[in-house]
Amino acid sequence: MSIKRILGTKIKSLQNKFPVVAIIGPRQSGKTILIKNLFKDFQYVNLEAIDTRKIAEDDPRGFLFSVYSLPFSFNL
């Protein structure tokens, strides 16, 4: 639990300094849960879903600004 608190504090600090913060790591290591808990007011976008990814690839600008409202987090 303390690791998540340390990471959470660092991620929140970085989020205030940068427009984009990437959380990377091995599969099933808790990245998505961490982000969903830290940013409960963000809309979550899962780009692992083939249909969603296709829409984002075909029209990235339209995808970002007409389908989802800011702020949001991505799962690639």
22-57 tens-digit pLDDT: 888 898 888 888 888 998 888 888 888 899 889 889
Whether residue 65 is predicted with pLDDT greater than 70 in this model: the reply is yes
Query: Which residue segment(s) compose the domain that 75 sits in?
Result: 42-76
13 and 33 belong to one structural domain: yes
pLDDT at 45: 81
CA distance 67 to 55: 10
**Average pLDDT for the chain:** 82
| 55 shares a domain with 28 | no
Q: 38 and 8 in contact (C-beta within 8 Å)?
A: yes
Do 33 and 1 belong to one domain? yes
Query: Of the candidates 27, 64, 55, which has an alpha carbon nearest to the alpha carbon of residue 72?
Result: 64
pLDDT of residue 21: 86
**Pair of tokens at residue 47:** 């780009």
Share of the chain above pLDDT 90, in %: 13
